[in-house]
Chain A
């Protein structure tokens, strides 16, 4: 298990801060989901926590050590990041992709080992990609492709996995497939999972801990049932909604309102049917 926290984190693009003086502790062994409207800084925050972006102020602490001063390979053995919409070279096979996950464990002296091989096989099995190992990644469906990438991050054997919008561009079936897989990883191996999701309802179902971000600030955080309410959604997404319990698990389910100006017209049309 590893701890991950942000201390006084500030990052700016061309003088304008995306977020400033941000403090955050990721709960260990839980699934944490960042939600917020487009451009609120949630992706930027996730990428800074994975050292893909360099914050100008503050620090990200991994097991208490500043990731900026740790060796990047050392970080890669504790924290994996799956960026948004990653692409593979043409013809790269699933097996070749997953093997790259062992990169942080290799060096001039220590090339491919039996342990590496075992970990790769395990990652393929865990993600159900064993049978597709020899297929080229670009021939797979969107959901399978994402599973292949998740297998690569699993092969990295890190206690913490960050994912930037892992369900974007996937249809609902594949979104569920990917989230189920991540839930399993969390449940079985107690890996800490942190991700950005756009779907509030799926976020509520899968997250142990939700962090709602607005204009680079943490608006609320906690268990979905505690933090998700009509006021928060209105504030964070500028959207009026009703919240009802999800019939399956009782987690909050958000029913969006439409523009009130159109409401009367819509009701009229429905009565006609």
Chain B
């Protein structure tokens, strides 16, 4: 029983890693992790991530995960760009 649970956890972890890597390869070359650095609006990400891992065996689901991971990376990049764009100018502008 314990071994079965361990195997299931290992499988889920492996699938989640694969999904994350696919997302990283997708659109964002940034070093940030594709998931987990988002704003409070994505507080449900862990649960969603688990669901995504469960569906990663379906190629179309993997595509969805990949697209959503890309969006995560893009929105992280967006936060950074907006923060930099709105920094107070120094030294007289």
Answer whether A and B are interacting partners.
no
Chain B contact residues, CB within 8 Å of chain A? none
